[in-house]
Amino acid sequence: MLLQLRLRSFQQVFPSPQIRPKSNSIHFSDYRSGVPDFLNEAQLELQGRADDLGQRLAGLHAEPDYPEKLRAEIRSLSKDADIFSLTQPREYGGLEGSSTDLTIAREALGQWNVGHLPGIFGPSPGLLGQASAELKEAFLGRYLSGEITGGFGFTEPSDATRHTWATSDGEDLIVNGAKSYVTGGSDADFVNTLVELDDSGPAMILIETNRPGVSIDRRFGSLDGSHHASFVFTDVRVPRMHLIGAAGAGLSRALEQVNSVRMAIAADCVGLCGFMCDLIATHIKKSEDKGRNSDAIRIQFGRMRARTFAARSTIYRTARLIDAGENSVNEVMASKILATETAADLVDSAIQIVGGEALVESHPLATIFRRVRATRLAEGPTDLLHSNISRGYLDLDVGRI
Ligand SMILES: Cc1cc2nc3c(=O)[nH]c(=O)nc-3n(C[C@H](O)[C@H](O)[C@H](O)COP(=O)(O)OP(=O)(O)OC[C@H]3O[C@@H](n4cnc5c(N)ncnc54)[C@H](O)[C@@H]3O)c2cc1C
């Protein structure tokens, strides 16, 4: 039933004769039912709410000329479903979902191919949650309410001769350097920026984008549809109290933020794998109803499901480790690798199975292809994460299998 609803809504959004399921002839069960999730009552209820929300969002008609109207509608539906504030702390009126809660919600939304839509989740404090009381007072409330927006400045231009650095000058810091890939940077009011602090090593510092010496030298979009800016900092004077966390602890501060984004990407990708499994199952059923049987495609489909099962098991295990307060940096990397690489593999296979129709730009597989491609680089390229997992085990004695 759930599957049929999902596919029905999917048809409304992406009408395509080649992928429309045939009447009520689908008897395979929802792929989720075969996986032992060990969810408690509250988590099952959350899964149901996220699933309902996903269905509603999949039925929305995007009006490209009114992106803000669409975002407001999404935000309102998500607030009604009690999903919006899962990413926000209780002290600011949020529901503060656990890692497992967020994985459940994001996976359910991914299964409707809507997890990427803007406005579903409220801004989370991220690094600002670890800022001084003074800095929180100045920025956090306004940030969480959506009054101001922020970006994350980590990646350096490939030709940078020196990493972005800051030197002390009395009660101020003077920042110089550049960040090349700040998502949402064009509209951001501030960028949480990784700098090398002269005497104490890496540090995160909040830099308002309207400070003298901050400039944007390029605005660009990427394949997945998101927008970014590259920043140059020339003798930017910032109060020392803009440091987030202890000076010298910048990399671990940044890594905490990166970890939660990696989990978000992984859960969405696993949801998308479920969406693609459903789509291909419908395609196969439809072909077989017409008398066209293909063992090769059935084998491909079984492979898609097996890979999805593995990636899905991984993200739930990792989410539970995080919730148990365990060191999970390596497991988060493994989850991100497996989920994104599996989604990339599945979308490629699914396109091949469906054929040319899947390459029509508005086809869900074409849009998933673009978005998933970016996830294998964003928040750490796969090879780099593999290399870090090796280092974790061989040099630092951390990481599980
Ligand atoms: C959609 C999107 C959004 C992004 N948003 C942000 C953002 O908000 N803020 C931000 O700071 N950045 C952002 N980025 C940038 C992203 O973090 C980087 O693209 C990513 O970390 C890779 O860095 P790079 O592009 O410099 O490539 P490189 O690090 O140069 O990697 C290129 C290749 O070299 C390989 N490689 C590099 N180092 C090693 C190593 N040590 N061992 C093995 N292989 C290695 C990689 O695996 C990869 O194949 C975003 C990127 C994308 C695609």
Q: In the prediction, which pLDDT does 6 show?
A: 52
- In the block, tokens 């390229």 appear at 381
Residue whose CB lies within 8 A of the most ligand 1 atoms, among 156, 183, 251, for a mutation test = 183
pLDDT of residue 199: 79
Cα–Cα distance for residue pair 112/33, rounded to 1 Å? 16
The CATH 1.20.140.10 domain(s) of the chain lie at 251-396
Nearest-atom index, ligand 1, CA of 223: 1
> What is the total residue count of the chain?
401
Residue 305 has pLDDT above 50, yes or no: yes
Beta strands per DSSP E along 145-269: 150-153, 165-169, 172-183, 190-197, 201-208, 214-221, 227-239, 243-244
Q: How far is the CA of 158 from the centre of ligand 1 (A)?
A: 10
Out of 205, 377, 390, give the residue to mutate to test ligand 1, the one with the largest number of ligand atoms within 8 Å of its CB: 377
> How confident is residue 7, by pLDDT bands cut at 50, 70 and 90?
very low
In the chain, the amino acid numbered 81 is A
What pLDDT, on the 0 to 100 scale, is given for residue 72?
93
Alpha-helix residue ranges (DSSP H) falling in 41-146: 41-58, 67-80, 99-110, 133-135, 141-144
Tokens 């901050």: give the residue.
214
All CATH 2.40.110.10 domain ranges in the chain, comma separated: 132-244
Task: Report CA(378)–ligand 1 centroid distance (Å).
Answer: 6
Q: Which atom of ligand 1 is closest in space to residue 226's alpha carbon?
A: 1
pLDDT at 114 over 80: yes
The band of 249, judged by pLDDT with boundaries at 50, 70 and 90, is confident
For residue 222, the ligand 1 atom closest to its alpha carbon is 1
Residues with CB under 6 A from ligand 1: 151-155, 158, 179, 181-183, 222, 224, 226, 374, 377-381, 383-384, 387
Question: What is the 379 CA–ligand 1 centroid distance (Å)?
Answer: 7
Confidence of residue 257 (pLDDT cuts 50, 70, 90): confident
Model pLDDT for residues 57-92, shown as the tens digit of each residue: 999 987 767 788 899 999 999 999 999 999 999 988
Say what percent of the chain tops pLDDT 70.
Answer: 91
Q: What is the CA radius of gyration of the chain?
A: 22
Angle between helices 364-375 and 329-354 (to 10 degrees): 150
Range of weakest confidence among 46-55, 56-65, 122-131, 318-327: 56-65
> How far is ligand 1, taken at its centre, from the CA of residue 155, in Å?
7
pLDDT of residue 12: 39
Q: What is the mean pLDDT of residues 286-295?
A: 91
Per-residue pLDDT, 250? 73
Label residue 36 by pLDDT band (50, 70, 90).
low
Q: Please tell me the residue having the least CA distance from ligand 1 atom 16.
A: 378
Q: How do residues 163-186 score in pLDDT, each as one tens digit?
A: 999 999 999 999 999 999 999 999
pLDDT at 245: 84
Query: Is 0.85 surpassed by the pTM of this model?
Result: yes
- pLDDT, position 34: 39
Q: How does the average pLDDT of the chain come out, rounded?
A: 90
More confident residue, 320 or 245: 320
Distance 30 CA to ligand 1 centre (A): 36
275 within 8 A of 116, measured Cβ to Cβ? no
Q: Which fold has domain 251-396?
A: Butyryl-CoA Dehydrogenase, subunit A; domain 3 (1.20.140)
Whether 21 shows a pLDDT value over 70: the answer reads no
Q: How far is the CA of 218 from the centre of ligand 1 (A)?
A: 18
How far does residue 180's CA lie from ligand 1's centre (Å)? Answer: 11
Give nearest CA residue, ligand 1 atom 32: 381
* Domain 132-244 CATH assignment equals 2.60.120.620: no
Quote the ligand 1 centre to 213 CA distance (angstroms).
26
